[in-house]
Structure 1
Amino acid sequence: MLRVHVTTEDLLNVTFASEPLPLVELAMALVAWQRRDEQAVFGRWRGHVTRELPGRVRPLLDLLRPDGDNPQFVEPYDRTLEDGLCAVREAGPRLTPEELGRAAARAPGSDSWLRALWRQDREAWEQLDGALRSAYEVLVAPYWPRIRQSFQADVAWRTRLLAAHGIKACLASTHPRAGWSGSAFEVDVRPDYEVRLGGRGLTLMPSPFWTGRPLIAEGPDGPSGAYLLMYPALTPLPLVGQGPAEGALDALLGRTRAAVLQLLVQQRTTSELARDLDISLPSVSEHTRTLRAAGLITTRRDGKAVLHAATGLGVDLLHSGG
């Protein structure tokens, strides 16, 4: 379980990141590619990535593993690719033997490349730079407008949720198994990890690639600043429509998911949604799961039928989105 102990001062220092960050999103994209959850959403994208990624990105898989708990030096908080790559290189001399041991223990292949990296071997660092550039050109650069659209829509939605229902509801909506126990924010998913914010606050950052539980790490300002909490964006990248969204609701949820919510002003079964929208039952289940996690719909079983309906919050969102 992730447990984050929050003080009153922390609650006064909860903010949202201002924009997505290139190498952070690259790391999350590589992680998403290796994961096997959310196949209804990410399956086709993963197949495309498998065909497109060049072999030279292979060393990155020794550093960036599917659970997302990865060395932070390859995920710098810089706003451009070049600044981020420079920050990665400058982090080299500060890497510790303990960090090497942890990375080597998690790597699926030989640790010889990692050891060369920690020894500041020039060829190993050139290999890392080339791998990051190649992966960025395939995974991030073509999708950057859609990454920004997902990010901005999620922040807009949660800002509204924060204003209407408070910080506890805002944080609890970041994961289906998230909630509160007293003053502790908890996510009931392993592994166990506990953090005391101690008044430093939180910076919230949605990622359209990340599919697991919220991740917490030191933020851009290090030990003197707020912690960073990264969580799955409400609309993952494969569901962000190509081109400009037709409306605010489409920008936030994606066209199909917005249509699901609109239909659920009246109660419907999973089969009825699939029929009315001409999509598969697994796709309906994926959309309703995410809408339910965000508090926008409720689901209950009535015999063999599964019934869905919009909540008051969902209806409010429909009204505000026109």
Structure 2
Amino acid sequence: MLRVYFTSEDLARVRVAPGPDFLWEISNSVQTLQRRDGARVFGEWRQWARPRLSDSCRLLSTLLPPRGYSPDFLTPTSGDRGTLQAAVDTLLSTPRPRLHTDLTQLAASLQLPSWAGSLARGDVDTLRRLGLAVRTYHGEALAPFWRRVHAHIDADRAVRLLSLLDGGTEGLLAGLGPQFRWRSPVLEVAYPVDQQLCLRGRGLILQPSFFCWPTPITLADAELPPVLVYPIHHAADWASTVPNGRPAEGSGPLGPLLGHTRAAILRAARTGCSTVQVARLLDVTHPAISQHVNVLRAAGLVTTVRKAGRSFHVATAEGRALLSTAERAGLE
């Protein structure tokens, strides 16, 4: 179990990350790709991704075993990480002492290839190989789904906002899911090993992650800026694709009834979504989404709340019942 110790100052400095973190999603997905559990959520994606990966991606699977310790430097908590290239540049600028410390710890549990020693010494060519592997892996395994990853995390942030509005920071922490238990001033987290994290006024970044599985994750070095990465809810058909690699539109009985786009909007609205979020998810223009939402709202299937210039859509009880009926039939 992981125990995170808060002070009153820490409670005032809890933040939810603004979106997916490229390097956390890459690291988590490399580990998830090597596992066999979670087939309901990740099985289709694994079958799709594995045969498409280049040989260079094996470098990442060596550094990121499916269980146990993984190096902290692969998921930096500082520096520019707003784009994939910026995140890679930040990764490749890791100080040599950090490379040496993390890879020495990894070597204590795994037999590493000879190039790992070069990486631990900060060898420029080996670092370039690492950067190439990261970019290649993202392009091959994640980029076709990145819009959907982003939209799912947007939806999770909307849920966290509601928890914060209803119960403050303690309500946010208590509402993270069944793997978390808030016992003021300690957050207990399901974790494969016993670990303690004393925040000491530094606050905490909550990082929702699409590929985090099956338990939340934090950094091994408690002296690094505190971050807690947690799994989010996934739509059952998230990995369904069409030949061009973009997510396929929804099908099932709601498609013919409502139209595929409206059915997809209704599913997204079950956990709450903004116009911007669902437009990104479906790759449809904002005005078109607004028109579809107007139809759903007139039918009593969604309700809309406007705050700070943004429209936030939530499925009504009737809308959720319609979705549940379709799912119980095994058709949606």
> Same fold by TM (over 0.5)?
yes
Which sits farther off after the overlay, 43-52 or 136-145?
Answer: 136-145
> Who is 1:66 aligned against?
66
With over 3 angstroms needed to count, the CA separation of the structure-2 counterparts of 1:177 and 1:73, relative to structure 1, is closer
CA-to-aligned-CA distance 1:51-94 (integer Å, 9 cap, x gap)? 11112110111211224742222223511122122222211523
* 1:13 Cα deviation from its structure 2 partner: 1.2
2:269 pairs, out of 243, 249, 252, with: 249
With over 3 angstroms needed to count, the CA separation of the structure-2 counterparts of 1:32 and 1:224, relative to structure 1, is closer
Aligned length: 268
> Who is 1:90 aligned against?
93
With over 3 angstroms needed to count, the CA separation of the structure-2 counterparts of 1:224 and 1:207, relative to structure 1, is closer
* 1:265 Cα deviation from its structure 2 partner: 5.7
Which sits farther off after the overlay, 25-34 or 147-156?
Answer: 25-34
CA-to-aligned-CA distance 1:188-241 (integer Å, 9 cap, x gap)? 43311101111221111111111222222399xx9696x211101123696376
Which sits farther off after the overlay, 135-144 or 241-250?
Answer: 241-250
**C-alpha contact (below 8 Å) 1:174/1:232 kept by paired residues:** no
CA-to-aligned-CA distance 1:11-54 (integer Å, 9 cap, x gap)? 11111112222222211221221222221111111111111111
Structure 1 unaligned blocks of 5 or more: 280-322
The code of the aligned residue for 1:51 comes to: P
> Who is 2:310 aligned against?
none
**C-alpha contact (below 8 Å) 2:2/2:195 kept by paired residues:** yes
With over 3 angstroms needed to count, the CA separation of the structure-2 counterparts of 1:275 and 1:56, relative to structure 1, is same
Query: Which whole-Å CA distance do the structure 1 matches of 2:161 and 2:74 have between them?
Result: 29
Partner-residue secondary structure (3-state), 1:277: coil
> Who is 1:319 aligned against?
none
Partner-residue secondary structure (3-state), 1:142: helix
> Who is 2:102 aligned against?
99
**C-alpha contact (below 8 Å) 1:60/1:132 kept by paired residues:** yes
Query: Which whole-Å CA distance do the structure 1 matches of 2:17 and 2:152 have between them?
Result: 13
With over 3 angstroms needed to count, the CA separation of the structure-2 counterparts of 1:3 and 1:236, relative to structure 1, is farther
After TM superposition, the score normalised by the length of structure 1 is 0.71
* 1:277 Cα deviation from its structure 2 partner: 3.4
**C-alpha contact (below 8 Å) 2:74/2:91 kept by paired residues:** yes
With over 3 angstroms needed to count, the CA separation of the structure-2 counterparts of 1:124 and 1:19, relative to structure 1, is same
Query: Which whole-Å CA distance do the structure 1 matches of 2:224 and 2:118 have between them?
Result: 32
> Who is 2:11 aligned against?
11
With over 3 angstroms needed to count, the CA separation of the structure-2 counterparts of 1:122 and 1:224, relative to structure 1, is closer
> Who is 2:166 aligned against?
164
* 1:262 Cα deviation from its structure 2 partner: 6.5
* 1:179 Cα deviation from its structure 2 partner: 0.7
How do 1:163-202 residues align onto structure 2 when only pairs under 5 Å count?
163-202=165-204
> Who is 1:204 aligned against?
206
Query: Which whole-Å CA distance do the structure 1 matches of 2:205 and 2:236 have between them?
Result: 21
**C-alpha contact (below 8 Å) 1:211/1:232 kept by paired residues:** yes
Query: Which whole-Å CA distance do the structure 1 matches of 2:224 and 2:328 have between them?
Result: 53
How do 1:283-294 residues align onto structure 2 when only pairs under 5 Å count?
none
Query: Which whole-Å CA distance do the structure 2 matches of 1:264 and 1:51 have between them?
Result: 37
2:330 pairs, out of 265, 277, 301, with: 277
Partner-residue secondary structure (3-state), 2:108: helix
For the pair 1:146 / 2:199, whether they are aligned, the reply is no
> Who is 2:34 aligned against?
34
Query: Which whole-Å CA distance do the structure 1 matches of 2:65 and 2:12 have between them?
Result: 34
The code of the aligned residue for 2:36 comes to: R
> Who is 1:302 aligned against?
none
Partner-residue secondary structure (3-state), 1:179: strand
Query: Which whole-Å CA distance do the structure 2 matches of 1:72 and 1:224 have between them?
Result: 9
The code of the aligned residue for 1:112 comes to: S
> Who is 2:256 aligned against?
none
> Who is 2:128 aligned against?
126
With over 3 angstroms needed to count, the CA separation of the structure-2 counterparts of 1:231 and 1:275, relative to structure 1, is closer
The code of the aligned residue for 2:27 comes to: A
With over 3 angstroms needed to count, the CA separation of the structure-2 counterparts of 1:191 and 1:265, relative to structure 1, is same
RMSD: 3.4
> Who is 1:239 aligned against?
238
With over 3 angstroms needed to count, the CA separation of the structure-2 counterparts of 1:217 and 1:119, relative to structure 1, is closer
Structure 2 unaligned blocks of 5 or more: 240-246, 250-260, 274-280, 283-313
Partner-residue secondary structure (3-state), 1:171: helix
